[in-house]
Structure formats: C-alpha cells, structure tokens
Structure 1
Amino acid sequence: MSSSLISPSELDYIIRGVDDNLRADGRGRLDYREVILETGLIFQANGSARCRLSKGTDVLVGVKVEIGSIEIDGTDEEVAAVKAKRGRVVCNVECSPIASQQFAGRGADDINNELTQLVDRVLNGPQGGLNLEKLCIIPGEECWVVYIDALVLDYGGNILDLIFMTIRAALYNTRVPKTVIEEDKEVEISDDVEEWERIEGWELVPISITLNKIGTRHIVDATVLEELATKAKLSVMVNKNGKICGIQKIGGGSIEHGLLNEMMQTGRSIGQNLILNLDKMLQKEDEINAERAKNDKIGFFAAA
C-alpha cells in the first residue's frame, strides 16, 4: 500500500510510538494481537481451520486430499526421479473483495497470485515440512494431492503471517485415508475414519513472521495504518525447531545489513514461541471438538 494514503501527522505519530515502544493499540514493538483459532469447520474437507487476529484479519483454510497422477516436468533425470516418488501440494490464496477495498478490481489478481506463489514455494520447497514421499501411492503413477485453499475474509494487517498460521492449523486437523494397493495396482481406500492419519511432517510446517521497518526500528504484526508507514518488510519463515526455512523481502525500501540480521533473529525467536503457543491451542481445540461430538447439537425445525 502507498504511504501517500496516510497523513504526515499520522505517520509521525506512528514512528514516534514505535521509537518509544508504545504503539497506538498499547502493544510493544514485538507483541502480537490475540489469535483466535477454530478447527474442523468445513465438513466436506479433510481438514480446516479459521484464525483471527483480535478484531482484525480473518482467514479460513480448507484442505482436501485426493488421489491424482504424479506430474513429472522438465528433462532433468535426477529431478524427475525425485518427483516420481513424491506427492504434491497445490495452493490457492484468495482475498475476498469484502475484506478490503484493495482486494477489489484488477489489483486483487496480483495480490492473490503473489500470496499463492509464496505459499506454494514454501510448502513445496525442501523446508516445507510435509513428507511428500509418504504421499506417494504408486511411484511414477499415483499419489495423494493436497489441495490447500485459503480465503481472507477480513483484513486488518499482517495477512501473510495469519495465512501461514491458519494453514498449519488446518494441516494439523487434516486426516489422510489409509490406502491398500491390490495386485493389479488398484488402489483401495479405507472407509474407517479411525484409520486415517495426519500427514507426516505437518509439525515441521513453518509459519511466517513479518517484520515491518518503521523509521529506524521494526515491529511485528502490523496494523493497516502501520503497514502504510512501513518502508520495507521482511518475512521470515520459521519452523518448530527454530530453523529459518525461507526469507522474503517485501517492498521497495532498503534494510541495512546490521538491521537485517537483527530482524532475522527476532523473527526466529518470535516464530518458535508462536508455534509453541499455536500447538497448545490446537490440542485444546481437539479437546473442545471431542466434547462437542459427545453432546447433541442445538437446532430447530422450520414451521410449515
């Protein structure tokens, strides 16, 4: 977003607040807003989750697994041999026009494509976490294809971080059916839901920590106004073990070498702690869902 959309007085107020470690909503530079999490919302999906940042950004993710053909592109024999034994992850991110005015019109396609490509690059990359080899059913022929669809329902800043958090929660909620290969290479899918399992490696799926350079300092979990005051962004992809799995610079501004190292280490530390809290929330959500399943749902019948 263009900084021309913010007045000089607002810009000065934000910069001074960041310098004093006291932002407009009372948070410090490295404080996140409250994350509200729900799982198992879409019954037709193999897994789903919804995350909200307080009263700000709201993201819904559905995961669907289907048997598909193994795609081998390119002429490199070594690459082809690896792909012949791996499943696939297909990502799609869509920002709803009702979430923000910037998601309406032609500009929305560019935003959607940029976010989709970034998510796809991380999850299909070597540090994506998911064990794609375990998703292979018949080498060179069939595999599980994991379709991940993210929908941004509301926007209040820090969209990329929340997308990755919600994807990780949805993958935790995802179960893949057990398959048996017959002698004629026919694939039989188990109907017993109790035998379905999580995708191996989901716990190593990284999340994003986006650090916004405002003035000479940086903050995390920026609001819309703070993003307008941002000169440059650095998104650090971090997994559960604190390993940096990728870095993406966003925006045209520069980041000094010393500040870059500091931002990377900040992202790594915050990311590891955030995943720890996220996993605790997921376990608690499992307990809540199990309790809900025991109780009768409250509803009504429409009168004739």
Structure 2
Amino acid sequence: MATTTQKPQNAPSLTFPRPIFAAVSPHPFLQAHLSANKKNPQRANGRLPHDFRKPGIHTGSLTHANGSAVVRLGNTSVVCGVRAEILREEDIPGANGVSPHLSNKAAEEGVEDDDNDSEEIDTLRLIVPNVELSTGSTPSHIPGTAPSPVAQSIITRLRSLLLSTRLLRASDLRILHTPATNAADPACAPETVLKGYWVLYMDVIFISIDGSALDAAWLALLSALRNTILPRACFDEDLERILCDDDPLAARPLSLRGLPVPATFAVLQGQPEESGEEDVRWILSDPDAFEEGVCRECVCVVVDEAGKLIRRVEKHGGGVVGRREMRDMVKRAGERWRDVQVALSGKA
C-alpha cells in the first residue's frame, strides 16, 4: 500500500521587511544601518552621512515667465517661475515723484545706496515669493485647504534669506526717467526722477517633497532669478505712462550679488542601549523625508564663496551640535556650494 508524505511547511519568518521595520521603529531602523559599518556608516537610502544628492537644474522651462527653473534633489522636485510687473510711482505712498531712497546724484551716476538697498526692497515689497504644494507632493498635504504651515514657513524663510543676503539690487528694479528739459528752470540741467519699480513675483511649486525642501526651493528661486530678463522700460512724456521695449536685445538680466547656497543637515543621536556606546551621533547631509522625521535636530547653513563667507545659520531642536560639529557642517556646506556652482554653469 503506497503512502504519501507531506513536505513540512517552512516556518514563518521572524524578521520584518524593510518598509515595516522602518514604519514601526524608524529610529532603530536608521541607527541599525549607520551602526552596521563603523568605518564607513551607510544610511538607509544608500548614501554616506556626508553625501549630498546631486542637484539637477534646468532653466528657461516656462515660456511665458521672465525667468524660470526646474530643480530636482533626489525625489524632491520644484518648479519656480518669476513674473515681473510694474509698480507706478503714483501708486507708491509718499513718493511724490522722487524716490526717498535715491538721490539725484546717485540716479545720474547709476550709483545705489548700499545701506538702504535692502530696506528699499523690503519697504516697498518689491519681492513677493509664494510657495504652493501640489496634490500628492507629500502625504501630509491636504489639497483644497489653506496654505499649510510648511508652505508658510518656507515663504517666510525665502523672503528673509533674499533680504539678508542682499541678493537683488534695487537699481535693477528702478524705472527712471530724465526729461528733455527742466520744467522748473530751463537754464538748469533736468533732474532724473523715479517713475516706477519692477516688482518680482516668484512662484515656487513643489511637485514632490522628499526632504531638504528649503534647499530645493532656494535653488529653484536662485536659478530662476539668474535666468530672469527684464525688458527695457521707459516713461513716455506724451502718453504719460511707462512703456516697455519689444526689442529682446534691449532687455537686461539681473545683476545678482554672489551665490548664496543653503545646506541642510540632520543630527541623529544614537541610543546607547542599542549601540553599546555612549554619546554616539551622526550628522546627515541633505536628509530625506524619512531622516527628517526621525532626527530631532536640524541645522541649515547658508554659505557663499565656497564656504568662505557664512550668510546664515538656522538651528531647530536638540542640543547636540557644538563648535566642532558646526565647523564640519560649514566645511560640508562649502563642498555643496561647489556642486551647485558646477550645476548652474551647465558643466555637470
């Protein structure tokens, strides 16, 4: 009599798949990756702690904008468009035909007042950044609602960074006019007067967000401003209005000051009971969304001139970062600056 035997079934696995492990215990999951190799620690995304994601920058993507750019950092994608509109002198409260920030000598010689340059742009609201999160850009964003705290925070930080770095020059935004004759005294030379300003509306739209949102938004904004072209605007005395020249050769780009580049870092403080060591920590460059959710301390360093000039330092949460860690972040930010400079030059 033939008998049949059943093969023993495999025992259920006692380990969690990576996505479940990351969702149930995110901190031990990330620390396990970094602690696996103490000489060359590797993050869950495969990058080393000091590695940045290579920026992808494409300018001139929007045909109906004065300047535009598309930037991608890993899975973070941003589109920025710059639109220039004219603010007439009569619509400026207290102008009375002459800018309070511009003297006649400065207007004639083309010299700007460096001390009041940022104040002039801020007071007259000549830069208007706006941030929008598209549907599906991040799981926490609910479409059809008011601007989220994330978008409002990025708007505030972008505007503050534009003013503190003095990236834009007020002289590029002024629309001046020198009449043929001096109406008050024909014997004297005519005085140059202010007739209006260019107001730059900068719309930043996130297609997807996977960490380092400010870095991506600023790179898109910076690239779009470097791509911005303003038509030549002049005041017509017969029509008594500002007209723009249709000749593209008469248009001019913005003369920006420097190349400020932000670099975001996240600090992961290890748990001694898991690693067996005391005071273990990792500084992660350009963190993704998962790492930002795990780490309790983030630092953003804005540098220029390959890290020789520190424009701004922002720190949120925690108390791990000291002088030694800050020096390391500034050094890494300088390396990031070089990568961005290469990407903007089109040599990448």
TM range (shorter): 0.7 to 0.9
Corresponding letter in the other structure for 2:67: G
Does 2:29 correspond to 1:10? Answer: yes
Does 2:338 correspond to 1:273? Answer: yes
Deviation per residue, 1:63-84 (Å, 9 max, x gap): 111111478799xxxxx64479
Deviation per residue, 1:167-220 (Å, 9 max, x gap): 11111211011122345763221111122111111x624221101111222121
Instruction: Choose which of 187, 190, 194 in structure 1 pairs with 2:242.
Output: 187
Does 2:237 correspond to 1:198? Answer: no
State the partner residue of 1:43.
63
| 40 and 256 in structure 1: CA distance in 2 versus 1, 3 angstrom threshold | closer
Aligned-partner Cα distance in 2 for 1:128–1:194:
27
Does 2:81 correspond to 1:62? Answer: yes
State the partner residue of 1:119.
158
Does 2:86 correspond to 1:21? Answer: no
Structure 1 or 2, whichever has the larger Rg, is 2
> How does the TM-score come out when normalised to structure 2?
0.69
Instruction: Choose which of 143, 151, 157 in structure 1 pairs with 2:211.
Output: 157
Corresponding letter in the other structure for 2:340: I
State the partner residue of 2:227.
173
Unmatched segments (≥5 aa) in structure 2: 1-21, 95-99, 102-115, 177-192, 270-280
Query: How many angstroms does 1:223 deviate by?
Result: 1.6
Does 2:301 correspond to 1:229? Answer: no
* Bigger shift: residues 147-156 or 238-247: 238-247
Corresponding letter in the other structure for 1:149: D
Unmatched segments (≥5 aa) in structure 1: 75-79, 285-304
Does 2:341 correspond to 1:256? Answer: no
| 182 and 57 in structure 1: CA distance in 2 versus 1, 3 angstrom threshold | same
Aligned-partner Cα distance in 1 for 2:254–2:341:
19
Instruction: Choose which of 127, 131, 152 in structure 2 pairs with 1:93.
Output: 131
Partner of 2:252: helix, strand, or coil? Answer: coil
> How does the TM-score come out when normalised to structure 1?
0.78
Corresponding letter in the other structure for 1:249: K
Query: How many angstroms does 1:140 deviate by?
Result: 6.2
Deviation per residue, 1:74-103 (Å, 9 max, x gap): 9xxxxx644796571110111223111112
For the aligned residue pairs, the C-alpha RMSD in angstroms reads 3.1
Query: How many angstroms does 1:272 deviate by?
Result: 2.5
Does 2:202 correspond to 1:136? Answer: no
- Asked if 2 retains the 8 angstrom alpha-carbon contact of 1:164 and 1:206, the reply is no
Partner of 1:101: helix, strand, or coil? Answer: coil
Q: Could you tell me the percent identity over the aligned residues?
A: 23
State the partner residue of 2:310.
244
Query: How many angstroms does 1:222 deviate by?
Result: 1.0
Query: How many angstroms does 1:279 deviate by?
Result: 2.3
- Asked if 1 retains the 8 angstrom alpha-carbon contact of 2:76 and 2:208, the reply is yes
Aligned length: 273
